[in-house]
Structure 1
Amino acid sequence: KEGDSGDGEKDGLTRPAEAGSAMEQKVVNDAVAYLRSLAEKRGRNADWAELAVREAASISSEEALNLGVIDVVAENIGDLLEQIDGLSVEVNDRELILQTSGLVIERLLPDWRSELLGVITSPTIAYLLLLIGIYGLVLEGYNPGAIVPGVVGAICLLMALYALQMLPVNYAGLGLIALGIILMIAEVMAPSFGALGIGGIIAMVIGSIILIDTDVPGFEVSRALIAAIAMVGSLGLMTIIWFAIRARQRPVVSGREQLIGARGTALESFQKEGEVFVHSERWSAIAETPVQAEQEIVVTGLDGLTLIVRAAGAHLKEQKNDRV
């Protein structure tokens, strides 16, 4: 039944399959045979039932009433009960008389469990739960002991898997989403200047679009959500590339070059040899100028494993004396 009650209603059956192959033709013929037998048994219009299957025919409610496809046209449930009162029907080879006049209409609303299932089995919500679950477990793997990401991720992932098994899921789409996430994680672990990340974003977007395998309008993952996730992934990818480029352009500093010019603290007062604290390590040092305990020092050279240091600011005093 399509449309609201009253004039303009349409009755029709959607064709089960296009008769393009022998198997599809057999499905159509089986449906026609079943509906014709049912229509003839109930005194319906068997010819129109066949047209509804083979040609996807549809008619208005008044035409359906005139052709014997339906019994009554009702405005609402109350009107329907009034019109079918006293109607004779056959059930299990027994003839029954309907007594529907004065019946109380009781509406049963879904309980909280049904409401919850209705929410999580929405394709968009199931998709969002899937992403939260995967990323939550990934964050827990990067930060063992954080607990919260792991708990939230596990709960969301289980809810997503429950919802997806009730939906017409395209497993190729699910595989592309998983591949996309793996590629983006690989980009973070081993930066490839965007090659892995771009491939991951493309795979994830395509997988998200084809995730739900149905042509029903509106029964799909929100395109706006897919676009938003793709934008967030692209921004993250550009950030990773920017940091990778900066790391490549930064001059390599290690060994001797790393120590010369470094600042530290004298652990004792000494004029020749003593110990200093530089780069969170204790070093033996030779002083170019007298050094006091807890005084800031600057490394000016390296003699084997011994640092050559001077008191911070001592070279400034020498420059002033030279000018005088």
Structure 2
Amino acid sequence: MKSRFRTSHTLTQNVLSDSIYQNESVNNDIVIDLSSDQDTIPYVINKPPALVNDDKVSCYANSVIQSFLCLPEFHASISKKNTALNNILNDILLKKINCTATVRRLVTGPHSDDFAENQQKDAQSFCQALIQKLDVDDFGIFIKATTYELLNCQSCDVYTNGGEQLIYTYFLYFPENCDDVIDFNSMLMLKDSDRLCPNCNNCNLRTRSVVVCIKYLVVCLQRISPQGSKINTKFFNFAPESIHLDNQIFKVRSVIRHHGNTIESGHYTSLVNYDDQWWKCDDNRITRISSFDNTLEDVYLLVLEKC
């Protein structure tokens, strides 16, 4: 039996490891499963959490966290509450708090951006830093991927493989001088290279990065051109339930959209799939939507699940 309760939490200053919650009131709409015979009654998370953007720059962190919270392995990892970061993310999952400022501070490291600054940041950089911080837990097993370079010589028609590399984000690059609407598969084609073929020593080489993952793959559509302008290209022939990539089939679990002229300005939102229902997340405005936009308009990051 399930009962729905309307609850309100007033949070006072409370230290969890090195995370500090500031005074704030949060309204939650929570479903509690009363049929469970476990000592701890679990919360049933049926939609993304609403996250505030009072400082006008938290949208990049909000969209990434809302996207990851639809993954059950992410739930399992943060529910251990064995680190300050896990504690705060678990409270966001349970809708006890609705601010990501402490997450931004905890994710900041010596080799990453200062996400604690009151300044808009790149969602991809925050996404990678967050995964690296969570790497001590088993979530990293599911989100990491391996790439190797595929080389094809147009002169001797020989395919060779380059070295392997462990990655957290797989980058796809738009073709040069592409149209306003293109086939998504063109993002996966071989690109010209100025290197010499290791077999015939001719400069007629094409290359592409090939990816292999365990379950999830974070894909970044590199929308910044070499000239620094944003690429606003849309796609056709994109099937969110059947994405073929290097002999693997994926489906979309969430996407992060960027609205604006540069990645470190403008605004970020996300589209997230919870139990086969799509939701639009615009900070604290959570809206049920009927379908996924196949054109990938303004989409910057995709979280894919291997089928």
TM-score (norm 1): 0.20
Who wins on radius of gyration, i.e. which is larger? 1
TM-score (norm 2): 0.21
Query: Which has the higher relative contact order, 1 or 2, with Cα contacts under 8 A spaced 6 or more apart?
Result: 2
More helix by share: 1
Higher strand share: 2
